[in-house]
Amino acid sequence: MIPNKRTLTLKSKFGFGEHFDKTIEHLINLNKKYYIAWVYYNNDIIDYNQEIKDLIGLTKEHEISKPGRNPEYYDNHKNLFYEKHNDVTKNISEISMEKQKVFRKAAVKNASRVNKLDLARKNQGKI
């Protein structure tokens, strides 16, 4: 008997496993793309629509025929995603370092300004 294939969308829930009650969209927002890919390669009947495949970085050359499974492809997909993830993380850290420099400069600039109200309080002995 051939099992029925389930094609999942962003609003679908797995209904099993660690994240049985979360939608696929929620898992993607939680950065659980590895889990979504793992389920794709290790479960016979789970398939995704093209939108989800694009979001998790699953290319045409790494798709497998369903119903069917191929856990070795998961390792290939995971390695490709790690490379993409490291590049994105590197860019994000560079941007955040630049933002920190800007905020530090602004804080130093604001700290050096003297407020008239503060001067008046100081003169009256209230500070």
Top pLDDT among 103 and 46 is at 46
Position 77 scores a pLDDT of 63
**Contact (CB, 8 A) for 47 and 70:** no
Check pLDDT > 70 for residue 97. no
pLDDT tops 70 at residue 124: yes
- Per-residue pLDDT tens for 12-69? 998 888 888 899 988 888 888 888 888 888 888 889 999 888 888 888 887 888 888 8
How far is Cα 106 from Cα 67, in angstroms, rounded to an integer? 58
Query: What is the structure's pLDDT at 48?
Result: 92
Detail the DSSP E strand segments found in the chain: 6-8, 46-48
Let me know: does 6 contact 46? Beta carbons within 8 Å: yes
Q: Which position has the higher pLDDT, 25 or 78?
A: 25
Mean pLDDT, rounded, of the chain: 77
Closest Cα partner for 39 from 12, 14, 22, 76? 14
Tell me which of 81-85, 86-90, 96-100, 113-117 is least confident: 86-90
Strands 6-8 and 46-48: parallel
* Torsion sign, CA atoms 61, 65, 15, 23: positive
39: nearest Cα among 4, 61, 64 = 64
